[in-house]
Structure formats: C-alpha cells, structure tokens
Amino acid sequence: MWKKTAAILCLVLVMTCGCGGASGETDSGAAKTEEVKIPEDSRKASTADNKEQSAAENTSASAGTQAVADAETGNTGSTSPEAAFTGETASAGRTGTNAAEYAAESRGLIVIDPGHQQYGNSEQEPVGPGASETKMKVSGGTSGVATGVPEYQLTLDIGLQLRDELEARGYTVIMVRETNEVDISNSERAAVANEADADAFIRIHANGSGDRGVTGAMTICQTPGNAYNGDLYEESRRLADCVLNAYTEKTGIDYEYVWETDSMSGINWARVPVTIIEMGYMTNADEDLLMQDPQFQEKMTDGIADGIDAFMAEKTAEERHTNE
C-alpha cells in the first residue's frame, strides 16, 4: 500500500513540473515592438503659406522609451503614404504604451496631430494620392506676437493635454508626435491615422493673419467633391462642426466658420474622418496671451474633447475602433 501511494505521489510531481515549465515559457515571450507611420497636413485660412506638422512615433509593448528615442531622431519608420492610404499596412501603435492593444471597453480610437514641428521641410510632396500638384512637406508654423511662443510648441502643449483628457474619458489615443524635434511630412501624418483606422483624426493648429485685430477659431475639412476622399466629407464635416461648436462654447473664443477646402495635404491623404482646428490667432496679442494661460488651456482641451464626445456619440459600438 505504501509503495502504491509513493508511486502516485511521484506521478503527480512529474505532471506538476511539466505544467509549470510550459506555463513559464508562455509567460516569458519576447516583447513585440510595432511602429506607427503616417502622413500630415494643414494650412491657415488667413495665411498664405502651408502649415503642417507631426511626428511618427515607434511604440513597444514593453519599452515605451523606444518611441521617445525614435521621435527625437526623426525616425518615422518605413510605411509609405501610398501604402497607408490604400490600407496595405495593418500596423498601428500607441506612443509610449502597449503597441496596438486597444481595450475592448474603449470609447474609441483618436489620433492627435500637433501641427508643425521645430524646423520646416521645404521639400515637395503630392497634395494627395497620385496628384501631380505638390506642396512643401511641412512648415514650422507661426508664432505669438505677444508671447513669442512658436505655434509648434503651443500645438504640442495642447495636444498632450488633450491626450490626457481623452484618456481620462475612456478613449484610446495615438499621438503623431510628442516632441518638436521631428521631421514628419503632412502626408506621413495622415498615414498614422490611416494605419490605426482611427475613429477621428484631430489636427491641432493656431492661426495667423496680417491683420492683428482678427480673432476667432475655425475648423477645416475637405469638400464633398474632393478627388481623394470626398466619400468621407459628411463624417469629416460633422466632426468639424462638433469640435468647433464645443470649443467656442467652452472657451468663449469667437466662432469663425468651418472652412471646406481641398488644399490641405494632411486632409487629402486621410482615409478616416479628419478635421483641423485653428484654435485662435497668435497674431492677435490678446488671443495669443490667452492661449498661453494654463487655466484657459484647460478650457481649450475640454472644448475639443467635448466636441469629440459629441461626434462619437453618434457612432454605434460596431462603428468604433476595436481590437478585433
């Protein structure tokens, strides 16, 4: 009897060791790193030059620091705008966090593109897929007439605050850039949103005018006849309306209008609902100072987030981005 019991105990020990080994191998798999790549664009309604900016960020499931390193060196990966536009790539990521792992309970996936970058790139790129017309890849933007703060810094500050606010509200967020030292074209910025199959692509800018008395906020989207993505007009226009209405209501900044134009590269390359928000005029001293006030910046980010809430409220659960 004793021998039989000992044999059984030995068998149990062998089986237990075998399960433990298999489980340990599964749990110790190597972390997977994925890159996010894209296109971008943006231009002022009252300024002559093209303004666009953004930064593609690498993201790793276990090492978010890689994204920061890539952003600082301007590394945006190898995905072409054409591939992202046509859906030939499926890679999507989230800067500094788990790569392409979106919570099932997420309210949606939002891509934020803080406009411009520290140094512009005057090289040319097509204004849309297959276009013969070209524009400069990205510019540095304008700057505050009273504060001297460059637009690329203001848009990054608001972009990061908007990310935090949206995450607090339950959204999954991808940042096109999290540093100013990048070199990402307008078309590449749009590619980030395309690859991620974003529910909304929010491009953040501030305006400028030769008339320093001009104030107000506007949003921008494509026209119904856009040769590249006119089929997305209705959703993009609704997004533009929702964001502008909520933003001006929350901040008290004058409502200008929704500008429909097909001159924006970052919009033309997008295959998801997209809008540019021009938050105010940095060429107006009062508005420039206002947009640098920390408490007012909270209203700015809350207003944009409220607009996204309004837009997403009309999407069904099936229409929202999921991890399936």
d(CA 284, CA 259): 20
The proportion of the chain whose per-residue pLDDT surpasses 70, expressed as a percent, equals 66
Confidence of residue 230 (pLDDT cuts 50, 70, 90): very high
The residues, ordered by sequence, that sit 6+ positions from 83 with a Cβ below 8 Å of its Cβ are 89, 191
* CA 265 and chain centroid, separation: 15
Cα angle, residue 173 at apex, residues 168 and 176 outer, rounded to 5°: 140
* Residue 185 pLDDT > 80: yes
**What is the overall mean pLDDT for the chain?**
77
Mean pLDDT, residues 62-90 taken together: 40
Domain range summary for the chain, segments of one domain joined by +: 32-312
The pLDDT, as a whole number, for residue 315 is 84
Neighbour count for residue 55 (Cβ, 10 Å): 32
Mean pLDDT, residues 11-26 taken together: 36
The pLDDT, as a whole number, for residue 105 is 62
Confidence of residue 80 (pLDDT cuts 50, 70, 90): low
d(CA 253, CA 316): 31
The residues, ordered by sequence, that sit 6+ positions from 276 with a Cβ below 8 Å of its Cβ are 41, 42, 115, 203, 204, 205, 219, 220, 221, 264, 266, 267
Q: How many helices (H) and strands (E) does the chain have?
A: 9, 10
Residue with more model confidence, 134 or 55: 134
Pairing of strands 274-281, 134-138: unpaired
**What sign for the dihedral angle of Cα 111, 178, 309, 109?**
positive
* Residue 68 pLDDT > 50: no
Residue with more model confidence, 272 or 93: 272
Threshold 0.85, pTM exceeds: no
d(CA 317, CA 33): 28
Mean pLDDT, residues 87-97 taken together: 35
* Residue 256 pLDDT > 70: yes
Confidence of residue 56 (pLDDT cuts 50, 70, 90): very low
Q: Which two tokens stand for residue 44?
A: 């002022």
Mean pLDDT, residues 41-56 taken together: 37
Element (H, E) at 256: strand 255-260
The pLDDT, as a whole number, for residue 84 is 53
Place of tokens 């999954």: 172
The three-state (H, E, C) secondary structure of 225-245, written as one string: CCCCCHHHHHHHHHHHHHHHH
Mean pLDDT, residues 246-258 taken together: 98
* CA 129 and chain centroid, separation: 20
Alpha-carbon distances of 153 from 79, 92, 116, 279, rounded to whole Å = 26, 25, 9, 13
The pLDDT, as a whole number, for residue 83 is 54
303-314 per-position pLDDT tens digit: 999 999 999 998
d(CA 312, CA 324): 19
Are 113 and 202 spatial neighbours (Cβ–Cβ below 8 Å)? yes
Which fold would CATH assign to domain 32-312?
Aminopeptidase (3.40.630)
Are 189 and 41 spatial neighbours (Cβ–Cβ below 8 Å)? yes
Alpha-carbon distances of 181 from 19, 51, 124, rounded to whole Å = 49, 16, 20
Are 189 and 52 spatial neighbours (Cβ–Cβ below 8 Å)? yes
Mean pLDDT, residues 168-189 taken together: 98
Alpha helices, DSSP H only, in the chain? Answer: 2-27, 65-73, 81-86, 151-168, 186-196, 233-251, 265-268, 285-290, 294-312
Q: Which two tokens stand for residue 230?
A: 């006119």
* Residue 205 pLDDT > 90: yes
